[in-house]
Structure 1
Amino acid sequence: MNPLPALAEHAASWRNAPLSAEVAHAARRALVDWFAALLPGCRLPPATLMAKALASGRGPGRAVSYVEGTRCALRHAALLNGTASHIVEFDDIWRWGVYHPGCPTVAAALAAAQEHGRDMEALLRAITAGYEVSCRIAFAVQPSHYDFWHTTGTVGTFGAAAAVAVILDCDAEQTAHAIATAATMAGGLQQAFRGDGMSKPLHPGHAAEAGALATMAAKEGMTGALDVLHGLAGFAAATSADTGQWDKAIATIGKPLAVTEMTVKNHGCCGHIFAALDAVRDLQRDAGFAADDVESVHVGGYAATVNVCDRPHAATEQEARFSTQFTVATMLLHGGVRLAAFGPDRLADPAIRALMPRVSVSLDAECEAAFPGQRSAKVTVALKDGRSLFRHQPTRRGDPDAPLSDAELDEKFMELSGPVLGAAPARDFLRGLRVGDTLPGEVALA
């Protein structure tokens, strides 16, 4: 079946579909979580380097580049903000698609809404549409898509296109052409984060800009290949093991809406390590042992935990964020894996380095069978006194079946944004995101 008409019809319906209190609340949570991840990233490379590289092409406009603290053209804002929001690894997750929809979708939607003078309700509708369209496409091409591709860079292009289509009041036909054109600009290789380098955060930045460009062109009449998602040489065929699970993906549209079942990150590292970190934290809390008491820690996980996050010799910040060994050692020693975990002092900490060789990772058949619907881990901690502690962690704190409360999300926002904005301005900004009717504007970085 051709999935594009159904996806485009659904996206276009969000121009005037009823926005229930539940959906509006979920979309606001997504916006709060996006800014929590964005603001600390605005002061870090590669966002700061991209801003310098693109300064001469900033252009006039009403969209806000939070990296530069200035108004600019829509595409410029989408690119820089999308990049910055992925740097500190605190962005949201839709677990069924192995996908971070917020980075590209919100970056593009907000820039378009600011550029065109729309209000908060229009932005929430656009976010909802972008999440739904892109998450269903992500579902259709997984799990094999994730063997080689970074879903946030590829599928994120569709989220951006669909969200901007709502802001630009595109009808279903225009939206279909926007999504079709976005498909041919989708990209993002996994090797970008299996090795070192700064290019991974550029994936959602590029997706936000490319999706926005596709929709801007479609609004003016540019057409795309409407069989590009499911065709024999189309997106699914090129990036997954077959031409996609489109019948299942389309059947689940809105049941429930993806924006209402997001995972909110509770640790500042790769989400494939979260279940192990939750298990280690709980075992240490319940048994009362110290890091020095640990003989060994073994993590059984699903394939991505092994393929992406088994990094016993992680040295750089990028590698450490994807290292089960580094993050588990950090959890044991410091009780958390937040922004401070990846500072130069922690990266060079001899106590962490001494503990890392005691942490091992392997594939567990039960955890692999449960993926992607469950992100689980089986953790065994052997203590020097002879005790062996075990915990099967079936889900992650922050997943829809173990969600962070609004208060906990607000605490995360304040922890990440307070040092960037100052405590009082951060609280005021958060209040506007939670209850305001107007769009967020510029902020001053402290």
Structure 2
Amino acid sequence: MNKMTDFVDGQGATLSRVADFALNLTPRDVPAPVIERAALLMLDTLGICIASGPMQAGVLAREATVKLYGSGDPDHGAQMLFDGRQVSLAGAVYAAATQTDNLDGHDGFNPVKGHVGVVTVPTLAVLAQKMPGLSGPDALAALVTGYEIAGRAGMALHATVADYHTSGAWNALGVAAMAARLRGHSRETLREAFGIAEFHGPRSQMMREIASPTMLHDGSGWGALAGMSAAILAESGFTGAPAITVEGTGAATHWADLGQVWQTLVQYIKPYPVCRWAHAPIDAARELALEHGVTHDQIENVIIRSFANAIALYPGMPDTTSKAQYSLAFSVAAMLVRRQIGLEQIAGDGLSDPAVAKLVAQTRLEVSDEHEALFPAHRTADVDLVLTDGRVLKSGLTHARGGAERPFGEAEIVEKFMGFAAPVLGDARAGAIRDACLGLTADGSLFASLGQHLADPV
């Protein structure tokens, strides 16, 4: 086995760049559109965190957190989001990230085939409980730090290992960076935290979860737990450097544009709480049906062509919410029958709709070389609807809505938030969170104006 020095950059230039960005970035250093986008991404993620709270996975995650991840030190404790019970800092971010992950409606980043906001938003909300004077712009700059560092850590990891690991394997570094910034760590402490977070970040294999969908989802709960634990360990003197995704000899290229190219701007927004890989086929089928006024009982067959990972999604009629969220034929059929995909379609009676089951049985899935060549930079598909009258409606190549190719504006993101949050919290509390979150971009605002709405139980 090679010595560590054989594959670590001995110059430390990349670490210096990353540490300076993480610890010293000010709101003035961040372009206004990036700050504004960060506020919208936080609002979107909070909506999914709220809606996922009553789900079985969310309840189980919080109960396990109380049992396993409490804190005997008030300085290292926090209230779980939308629950109120006091646990450790690491437990609070674990619980929120785990439940958010299990609704699967949160933002994502195409190049890493994974998710950042699911851990960075809880990290900010949890740590800010100890920072009543944190300004809105400073809070959003911290959130941007998490997005920018986690995404590049993910790109570095995917470029250097053979397996496709879940987001928790790399988004842990974004959590560690945010904690270092908000808790006043030194460059040396941040370096140790990166090393601990990377070492303990869950190298879980994503395609195993795709093949057999469960509540494990994208590993982000464990990524949040590892990242926050790493930060607390490092500030206590525990060592763990170096992180190969930051200091490895091949890592520098992934960090070269830090502070120049803003990955925060190109996170996609999900309109549906199912795997992003299914979104392009869903949108293609939806738009065909709307354009031609087709109802599900007019459809004889559905043919879906997409990239190989999308075609590998669960092909049949799911019997659990987890399977429904990692489904392809079911998700498309649910859209064609119900004209929407929300919580009702992926749980309860939505899993046994006979009209959806019939359409699932009439669906054919095909890997397309054209779509495969575009993945992972793009999520594309095309769909044919073969009708009972003999007509064949063809969508052509379709990009998933909510990404850089077909972005959502503020109004659409706010509408999505209210659609997920208001049924759980009520219009008044959901509206207060919306207004406070969007108000964080203003000079003189305080994160506490939002934070006061985030801990009380639903």
The answer to whether TM tops 0.5 is yes
Secondary structure in 2 matching 1:87: helix
1:46 equivalent in structure 2:
57
Displacement after TM superposition at 1:256 (Å): 2.3
Amino acid at match of 1:373: A
Secondary structure in 2 matching 1:229: helix
8 Å CA contact 2:380–2:398 kept in 1: the answer is: yes
Runs of 4+ in 1 over 6 A off after TM superposition: none
Q: Which range is displaced more, 262-271 or 137-146? A: 137-146
Distance 1:279 1:143 in 2: 31
Displacement after TM superposition at 1:144 (Å): 8.2
Residue among 301, 308, 315 paired with 1:311: 315
Q: Which runs of 5+ in 1 are unaligned?
A: 235-242
8 Å CA contact 1:113–1:122 kept in 2: the answer is: no
Residue among 217, 223, 227 paired with 1:200: 217
Distance 2:411 2:27 in 1: 30
8 Å CA contact 2:82–2:456 kept in 1: the answer is: no
Q: How does 1:369-388 map to 2 (within 5 A)?
A: 369-388=373-392
Distance 1:91 1:433 in 2: 16
Amino acid at match of 1:385: D
Distance 1:445 1:386 in 2: 54
Distance 2:337 2:243 in 1: 53
Q: Map Cα deviations across residues 399-427 of structure 1 (whole Å, 9 max, x no partner).
A: 02311111111111111000111111111
8 Å CA contact 2:214–2:323 kept in 1: the answer is: no
Are 2:405 and 1:401 aligned? yes
Residue among 360, 368, 377 paired with 2:364: 360
Are 2:40 and 1:29 aligned? yes
1:239 equivalent in structure 2:
none
Q: Map Cα deviations across residues 262-313 of structure 1 (whole Å, 9 max, x no partner).
A: 1010111000000111111111111111111111111111121022x14224
Q: 1:274 to 1:364 in 2, by over 3 A?
A: same
Q: 1:78 to 1:336 in 2, by over 3 A?
A: same
Are 2:296 and 1:291 aligned? yes
Q: How does 1:67-86 map to 2 (within 5 A)?
A: 67-86=82-101
Secondary structure in 1 matching 2:101: coil
1:141 equivalent in structure 2:
157
Distance 2:363 2:237 in 1: 56
Distance 1:358 1:143 in 2: 39
Q: Percentage identity across aligned positions?
A: 25
8 Å CA contact 1:78–1:209 kept in 2: the answer is: yes
Displacement after TM superposition at 1:230 (Å): 7.1
Residue among 166, 173, 180 paired with 2:195: 180
Secondary structure in 1 matching 2:316: coil
Q: Which runs of 5+ in 2 are unaligned?
A: 1-7
Amino acid at match of 2:103: V
Are 2:349 and 1:338 aligned? no
Displacement after TM superposition at 1:15 (Å): 5.4
8 Å CA contact 2:65–2:87 kept in 1: the answer is: no
Q: How does 1:402-441 map to 2 (within 5 A)?
A: 402-436=406-440, 437-439=445-447, 440-441=451-452
Secondary structure in 2 matching 1:166: helix
8 Å CA contact 2:306–2:380 kept in 1: the answer is: yes
1:18 equivalent in structure 2:
29
Q: 1:262 to 1:230 in 2, by over 3 A?
A: closer
1:225 equivalent in structure 2:
241
Secondary structure in 1 matching 2:303: strand
1:320 equivalent in structure 2:
324
Are 2:105 and 1:102 aligned? no
8 Å CA contact 1:311–1:322 kept in 2: the answer is: no
Residue among 287, 292, 305 paired with 1:300: 305
Amino acid at match of 2:303: H
Distance 2:375 2:160 in 1: 12
8 Å CA contact 1:91–1:103 kept in 2: the answer is: yes
Q: 1:401 to 1:255 in 2, by over 3 A?
A: farther
Residue among 118, 141, 154 paired with 1:125: 141
Displacement after TM superposition at 1:333 (Å): 0.7
Amino acid at match of 2:309: A
Q: 1:24 to 1:71 in 2, by over 3 A?
A: farther
1:9 equivalent in structure 2:
20
2:5 equivalent in structure 1:
none
Q: How does 1:160-175 map to 2 (within 5 A)?
A: 160-175=175-190
8 Å CA contact 1:58–1:73 kept in 2: the answer is: yes
8 Å CA contact 1:177–1:225 kept in 2: the answer is: yes
Distance 1:289 1:97 in 2: 36
Amino acid at match of 1:321: Q
Q: 1:443 to 1:214 in 2, by over 3 A?
A: closer
What TM-score results when the alignment is normalised by the length of structure 2?
Answer: 0.88
Distance 1:285 1:146 in 2: 42
Are 2:117 and 1:112 aligned? no
Distance 1:392 1:226 in 2: 47
Q: CA RMSD in A?
A: 2.3
Amino acid at match of 2:305: G
2:107 equivalent in structure 1:
92
Q: Map Cα deviations across residues 140-161 of structure 1 (whole Å, 9 max, x no partner).
A: 33378685421x2111111111
Distance 2:285 2:293 in 1: 11
Q: 1:368 to 1:313 in 2, by over 3 A?
A: same
Displacement after TM superposition at 1:215 (Å): 1.6
Q: How many residues align?
A: 432
Secondary structure in 2 matching 1:31: helix
Q: Map Cα deviations across residues 113-140 of structure 1 (whole Å, 9 max, x no partner).
A: 2234433333212211111111112223
1:274 equivalent in structure 2:
279
Q: Which range is displaced more, 12-21 or 94-103? A: 12-21
Residue among 201, 205, 214 paired with 1:189: 205
Could you say which structure has the greater relative contact order, defined with CA pairs below 8 angstroms and 6 or more residues apart? 2
Distance 1:251 1:194 in 2: 36
Residue among 354, 364, 367 paired with 1:350: 354
8 Å CA contact 1:195–1:319 kept in 2: the answer is: yes
8 Å CA contact 2:66–2:87 kept in 1: the answer is: no
